[in-house]
Amino acid sequence: MRIGIDVGGTHTDAVILSGDEVIAATKALTSSDVVSGITEALDTLMKDGGVKQSQIDKVMIGTTQFTNAIIERRELSPVAAVRIGLPSGQGLPPMIDWPEDIASAIGRHHYLLHGGYLYDGWPVADMDDREIDAMIGELLASKVKNVAIAAAFSPMNADPEKYVAEKILKAIPDAKITLSHNFGRLGIMERENAAILNTTLLPFAEKVISSFLQALTNRGLTCPVYISQNDGTLMSADFVSAYPALTFASGPTNSLRGAYKLTGLKDAIVVDIGGTTSDIGVLQGGFPRESNTVIEIGGVRTNFRMPDILAIGLGGGSIVSSDGHVIGPQSVGHRLVNEGLVFGGGTLTTTDIIVASGVADIGDASNVGHVQKSVVEQAVTRMHQMLDQNIEMMKPGGKAMPVILVGGGSVLVTGGLQAASAIHRPENAGVANAIGAAIAQIGGESERLVSYREVPRDDAIAKVKQAATQRAVKAGADPATIRTVDIEETTVPYMDESTTRVRVKVIGEIA
Amino acid sequence: MKIDATQLEDLALGSVFLATGGGGDPHVPLLIAKQVLSKLGPVNVIAPENLDDDALVVAIGGVGAPTVSLELLPSVDDAARTLEAFEQQVGRKVDAVASFEIGGGNSLIPLVAAAGQGVPVIDGDGMGRALPEAQMMSYAIAGVKPTPAVAYDYAGNITAFSTKSTDVYERHIRSLAMVSGGMITTAEHPMSGKELKNSVIPGTLSFSIELGRTLRENRGCSDELLAPLQAVFENSIYGECRNLFTGKVTDKATRITGGYDVGEATIEPFDGNGPALNISIKNEYLLATLDGSVIASVPDLIIIVDYETSMPINAERLRYGQRVAVFAVGCPNFYRSAKALKVVGPRCFGFELDYVPLEEV
């Protein structure tokens, strides 16, 4: 059996799964120390499920702690950003386009060094040991020990980043360093931003991960622990301590993956209706469809891949105009329990409309007796129209598709949706995130630059796939279950036309 | 008229719209322009008609593959150093600088050079949009010779060119860009004030700022965008503005061939009913085809915007699943002459068809 835990900003959800079956599920408040929220959830869970510690093989944790830290500008440590690319990029230092509040929280410590490569492998400039040593001298004086290093074209040649990191570690053995090539993809500013965001979280990551482990140990769980990352695969707890930024999108990813698990639908639209918004995502082959726009985290441009989510202003707390024609985007949010009519408040909300329509029994229905029937009908129609139009936009094709409703606001959907071939309201939808974490798989990725003129394409891809498989197996995947989920071929512009960067991603079940 | 740092965001936004999918992401040029204009103050803008006939003007901008400059960042003083190198080459100061193309990052580089060297910038450009090659510039079409010209690279290397034909010059700067990390800055097509007046697409710098402001003020669902767009294009050098299509991208396949991103995108209506719109891409959006018939073609402008935010989307960022609206705008009259269509018509991009003006479709 396995346990899935989702540590969100407000709630900590947990489930026990035995194979595909949900044995127990619970929701607790996230505590400020994180630990007691998890132990509380675990206690309820083990008691409800009647399960012993020894029956649990593994624990998977999904968390938005790191995303929230960036968005709320808290728990951020000072970072020295080192870019290797001079003489190019003079006058464009790291963090130049960051919002002032987060840049000053991290401190504008930056260093520009000579070195890096052009796309064709020619060095931008020779590296200068004296320049590097002078930078290290300043690092020592400033006492900043978290360092992010980015070099021009490091996804193709990471040597300059590694060289500088080694020199820093020799002088500052307890330095915490992130190398940008581990965040892949071309675009030095976005890659460097990802590395800086990761680095600023490193001390907090150690604290959070040790709280997770502490909470589990407190309850006698000594089995392997995994943390879910952006693409819905898992990493070891140690790995997250070094790469906390890889959890940035795990919230929506786990929600979509959980909806898939709860229904078994590989291709579907998932609508997560909360208090303020409806978040519409798309499942393709059981995984979230990814967005292709530049992703900003807390106002910082990054190169992360995130699920494609369309958020519309329709939730259980959305404010309804007196004629029922306009709904949202303003919402009373979590104040619904004070301000909604059925709770004795004075604001007409979508929840009041549903109660007035007689479909749901929430709060005191007598408080909405005065709302005209025509207004109720108009508002109900409008809510369904809003969902229909937006689902229509997200759907991959013209045909109607199954729609999975999750989240507390899903009571708003009382009728059919034209865009939906069927509507699913899975049991346990409230803990979809924890379930998504519990079913996550192990992934492996590898990439290299190849010339199809020298190596036939199929052979080249097979080689990269083999390297990716080795990584996945090393990380704990069962070799028999490995399958390829993504092959990305990028022709390098202006180079010999057969030169291609091949990146392969594989995933497999936990061995 | 002056342009200061606070107008640059609007200029960049308008320029992405006019870039018709090409021109590269202006994010980095915008960062540079903001820094330089904040430090050195606003730049004087001069209308072509106010320029002396014997003034010396030079066109300045970046040449190469925008994807490469994602990794090899420019330096803040590249543009000013390029202009300085040009002045040394010809042995005199220039009186104004002009833009190659208003579409994309090249709308900002002349401002950076002008601020750095203390000269005015021409309100106008050599394309009125973005186009991939030097001989497609209005300056070249009107007979302005490409050289004397200089190129400046990331390491400060300077190369001078002397050749009469823009076709040959285009080949030379392309090969220099290839061995210089993929991106260089050039000062080229020097011309007299009189030559500029005969060849420039006028007013596009101030127009791009106005267009950008319109887009910023009308952020949100693109269903509401057509009327404000038509209002801003109505009194401009551009032709009619139409909303060609709204839907989602169901397919996009491009590959790099000879330095260009070449391919097709398919956009289907949201409800799946009715024919799909096909967009042919070669760096820029060049043709829009509906049900087998071309409904807009280069040199008219084809623009794709994000349906939810109305922000224009570059061809390299257009992907499967995106919700978009497609607009078309008639190009400036300069590009509708037989002489211009010989170098920028659909056949110049490998399409076996003649240009039909948007208004006649």
A1-74+201-248 topology per CATH: Nucleotidyltransferase; domain 5 (3.30.420)
Q: Is the CB of A89 less than 8 angstroms away from the CB of B272?
A: no
Asked if residue B103 lies in contact with residue B15, where contact means CB atoms within 8 angstroms, the answer is: yes
Q: Nearest Cβ partner of B154 from A88, A187, A189? A: A88
Q: Tens digits of per-residue pLDDT, A281-295?
A: 999 888 888 776 678
Q: Tens digits of per-residue pLDDT, A445-462?
A: 888 777 777 888 889 889
> What is the residue type of B289?
T
Alpha carbons A231 and A309: distance in angstroms, whole number: 14
Alpha carbons B318 and A247: distance in angstroms, whole number: 26
pLDDT at A491: 64
Label residue A459 exposed, middle or buried (CB < 10 Å: 0-12, 13-18, 19+): exposed
Alpha carbons B99 and B119: distance in angstroms, whole number: 13
Q: Is the CB of B269 less than 8 angstroms away from the CB of A398?
A: yes
Indicate left, alpha or beta for B26 from its phi (over 0: left) and psi (-120 to 50: alpha): alpha
| Cα B212 from chain centroid (whole Å) | 14
Mean pLDDT of chain B: 93
Which pTM value belongs to this model? 0.87
* The CA-based dihedral angle spanning residues A270, A272, A276, A277, taken in that order and rounded to the nearest 10 degrees: -10
- When pLDDT is cut at 50, 70 and 90, the band that residue A494 belongs to is very low
pLDDT at B259: 61
Residues in chain B within 8 Å Cβ distance of A389: 270
Residues in chain A within 8 Å Cβ distance of B250: 396-397
Q: Is the CB of A91 less than 8 angstroms away from the CB of B272?
A: no
State the nearest Cα–Cα gap between B116 and chain A, in angstroms.
14
pLDDT at B110: 97
Residues in chain A within 8 Å Cβ distance of B154: 87-88, 124
Which candidate in A86, A113, A118 is best for mutational testing of the B interface (most B CBs within 10 A)? A118
Closest chain A CA to residue B248: A393
Q: Is the CB of A188 less than 8 angstroms away from the CB of B65?
A: no
Lowest mean pLDDT among A295-299, B8-12, B17-21, B354-358: A295-299
Q: Is the CB of B181 less than 8 angstroms away from the CB of A124?
A: yes
Residues in chain A within 8 Å Cβ distance of B156: 87
Q: Nearest Cβ partner of A96 from B31, B271, B273? A: B31
Alpha carbons A284 and B205: distance in angstroms, whole number: 44
State the nearest Cα–Cα gap between B199 and chain A, in angstroms.
31
CB atoms inside a 10 Å sphere around CB A21: 8
Please enumerate residues of A whose Cβ is less than 8 A from a Cβ of B: 85, 87-92, 96-97, 118-120, 122, 124-125, 152-153, 186-189, 282, 289, 292-294, 301, 308, 310, 389, 392-399, 491-494, 497
Alpha carbons B317 and B294: distance in angstroms, whole number: 24
pLDDT at A492: 58
Residues in chain B within 8 Å Cβ distance of A392: 270-271
pLDDT at A398 over 80: no
Asked if residue A300 lies in contact with residue A79, where contact means CB atoms within 8 angstroms, the answer is: no
Lowest mean pLDDT among A501-510, B223-232, B291-300: A501-510
**Residue A439 DSSP symbol:** T
Q: Nearest Cβ partner of B319 from A292, A389, A491? A: A292
Q: Nearest Cβ partner of A118 from B28, B72, B77? A: B72
Closest chain A CA to residue B308: A310
Q: How many pairs of residues across A and B have Cβ atoms under 8 Å apart?
A: 122
pLDDT at B108 over 70: yes
Q: Confirm or reject CATH 3.40.50 for domain A80-200, answering yes or no.
A: yes
Lowest mean pLDDT among A138-142, A169-173, A201-205, B249-253: B249-253
pLDDT at B257: 67
Higher pLDDT, B283 or A372: A372
Q: Is the CB of A92 less than 8 angstroms away from the CB of B73?
A: yes
Residues in chain A within 8 Å Cβ distance of B31: 92, 96-97
Alpha carbons A38 and A54: distance in angstroms, whole number: 18
Tokens of B81: 């150093």
Label residue A434 exposed, middle or buried (CB < 10 Å: 0-12, 13-18, 19+): buried
Q: Is the CB of B67 less than 8 angstroms away from the CB of A87?
A: no
Q: Is the CB of B317 less than 8 angstroms away from the CB of A398?
A: no
Mean pLDDT of A71-90: 94
Residues 6+ away with beta carbon under 8 Å from A100: none
Q: Confirm or reject CATH 1.10.1380.10 for domain B2-202, answering yes or no.
A: no
pLDDT at B261: 74
pLDDT at A495 over 60: no
- When pLDDT is cut at 50, 70 and 90, the band that residue B256 belongs to is low
pLDDT at B67: 67
* The CA-based dihedral angle spanning residues A39, A41, A45, A51, taken in that order and rounded to the nearest 10 degrees: -10
pLDDT at B153: 96
Mean pLDDT of A147-159: 92
Q: Is the CB of A493 less than 8 angstroms away from the CB of B307?
A: no
Closest chain B CA to residue A400: B271
Q: Nearest Cβ partner of A186 from B71, B269, B273? A: B71
* The CA-based dihedral angle spanning residues A209, A215, A219, A223, taken in that order and rounded to the nearest 10 degrees: -10
Measured between alpha carbons, how far is residue A192 from residues A94, A154, B290 in Å?
8, 11, 42
Q: Nearest Cβ partner of A393 from B73, B248, B273? A: B248
Q: Tens digits of per-residue pLDDT, B130-171?
A: 998 889 999 999 999 999 999 999 999 999 999 989 999 999
State the nearest Cα–Cα gap between A278 and chain B, in angstroms.
15
Residues in chain A within 8 Å Cβ distance of B317: 292-294
Q: Is the CB of A293 less than 8 angstroms away from the CB of B317?
A: yes
Q: Is the CB of B72 less than 8 angstroms away from the CB of A392?
A: no
Asked if residue A99 lies in contact with residue A197, where contact means CB atoms within 8 angstroms, the answer is: no
Q: Is the CB of A189 less than 8 angstroms away from the CB of B77?
A: no
- When pLDDT is cut at 50, 70 and 90, the band that residue A176 belongs to is very high
Q: Nearest Cβ partner of B75 from A87, A118, A393? A: A87
Per-residue DSSP letters for A78-140?
A: P-EEEEEEETTTTT--TTTTS-HHHHHHH--EEEEEE--B-TTS-BSS---HHHHHHHHHHHH
> In chain A, what is the straight-line distance between the N-terminal and C-terminal CA atoms, in Å?
14
Closest chain B CA to residue A388: B271
State the nearest Cα–Cα gap between A125 and chain B, in angstroms.
8
Could you tell me which CATH number the domain at B219-360 has?
2.40.390.10
Q: Tens digits of per-residue pLDDT, A287-336?
A: 888 776 678 888 899 888 788 888 888 988 899 999 999 998 888 877 88
Structural domain boundaries in chain B:
2-202, 219-360
Q: Is the CB of B255 less than 8 angstroms away from the CB of A491?
A: yes
Residue that has been written with the tokens 């004086």 in this structure: A141
